[in-house]
Amino acid sequence: MPEPPLENIVLIGFMGSGKSTIGRELSQLLGYPLLDTDALIVERDGRPIPRIFAESGEEAFRDLESAVLADLHAGGPSHRVIATGGGIVTLPKNRRLLRRLGYVVWLMVTPKAVLRRTSRNKQRPLLNNPDPTGTISRLLEERTPLYRETSHLAVETDSLNFPEISAGIIESARYFFGRSK
Ligand code: S3P
């Protein structure tokens, strides 16, 4: 018998795409607990993210993302909102795990909005360099096909407001979960 699909809503997308804000909104509207892979990594490793990058490197951080996703999948939690780090889609095994966790929603964002939303926060090691604009364009270009192939739904975040986005996601998720029973 195939495993029943987990009924989580999984948010993916670039840094500054609104995953945490929309995650909080969805969590309130649905009454589902919000989990965040970055927070689970910090809890598991004991170091803040910039220190993990500085002391152990990006590859070690990606392995921690895989471990957290594997735990989430093994724990079988359903009816959660799961917000993820922007680079979680870079490893193929993470892309497979994400889709097995539930309904995967890609929050699309333009480079301009990313720059606007991330410029004041220095907690993102990948953008803490002399050319964040160039880094954003390069990473967005590399990751866009990965977000596309991993997601069940892609949502524009530039023109709509967050409550409108959340309402749209809930409607599509209900349809998706209804169909997969
Ligand atoms: C990263 C995004 C961050 C965090 C880490 C690496 C990335 O999460 O996981 O700094 O590679 O895009 P947010 O997308 O929540 O900022």
Q: What pLDDT is recorded for position 145?
A: 98
Q: Is residue 15 part of a domain?
A: yes
Average model confidence (pLDDT) across the chain:
93
Nearest to 36 by CA among 25, 23, 48, 49: 23
pLDDT tens digits for range 61-80: 999 999 999 999 988 778 99
Whether 143 lines ligand 1, by a CB cut-off of 6 Å, is no
pTM of the predicted model, to two decimals? 0.95
Q: How many domains does the chain have?
A: 1
Is-contact 40 68, C-beta < 8 A?
A: yes
Three-state DSSP class for residue 135: helix
Tell me how many helices (H) and strands (E) the chain has: 8, 5
Q: Is residue 1 part of a domain?
A: no
Whether 77 lines ligand 1, by a CB cut-off of 6 Å, is no
Residue 1 has pLDDT above 70, yes or no: no
Whether 86 lines ligand 1, by a CB cut-off of 6 Å, is yes
Q: Is residue 181 part of a domain?
A: no
Q: Is residue 2 part of a domain?
A: no
The tokens for 137 are 């364009």
Whether 111 lines ligand 1, by a CB cut-off of 6 Å, is no
CATH code (residue 110): 3.40.50.300
Q: What pLDDT is recorded for position 10?
A: 98
Q: Is residue 40 part of a domain?
A: yes
Q: In what order do the strands lie in the sheet with 8-13?
A: 34-36, 81-83, 8-13, 102-108, 153-156
Is-contact 11 22, C-beta < 8 A?
A: yes
| β partners of residue 153 | 105
Indicate which residue's Cα is closest to atom 8 of ligand 1: 85
pLDDT tens digits for range 83-127: 999 999 999 999 999 999 999 999 999 999 999 888 887 788 898
Indicate which residue's Cα is closest to atom 3 of ligand 1: 85
Closest ligand 1 atom to the C-alpha of 143?
A: 12
Q: How far is the CA of 155 from the centre of ligand 1 (A)?
A: 19
Q: Is residue 37 part of a domain?
A: yes
Instruction: For 59-122, give the DSSP string.
Output: HHHHHHHHHHHHHHHHH---S-EEE--TTGGGSHHHHHHHHHHEEEEEEE--HHHHHHHHTT--
Domain that holds residue 153: 9-176
Is-contact 179 153, C-beta < 8 A?
A: no
The tokens for 81 are 């909102």
Whether 87 lines ligand 1, by a CB cut-off of 6 Å, is yes
Q: How many residues does the chain have?
A: 181
